[in-house]
Amino acid sequence: MPEVGIFSYLYSFSIRELKALFIFFFSQFTAHFYSFESLIYELKQ
pLDDT in tens, 6-44: 778 777 777 888 888 889 989 888 888 888 888 888 888
- Greater model confidence, 5 or 26: 26
pLDDT at 6: 77
Which residues form the domain of 26? 1-45
Count of residues in the chain = 45
> How many angstroms separate the most distant Cα atoms in the chain?
64
pLDDT at 32: 81
pLDDT at 34: 83
Can you tell me the distance from the alpha carbon of 35 to that of 22, in angstroms, rounded to the nearest whole number?
Answer: 20
Closest C-alpha among 15, 17, 35 to residue 27 = 35
What is the total count of domains within the chain?
Answer: 1
Q: What residue type is assigned to position 5 of the chain?
A: G
| Neighbouring C-beta atoms of residue 38, cutoff 10 Å | 10
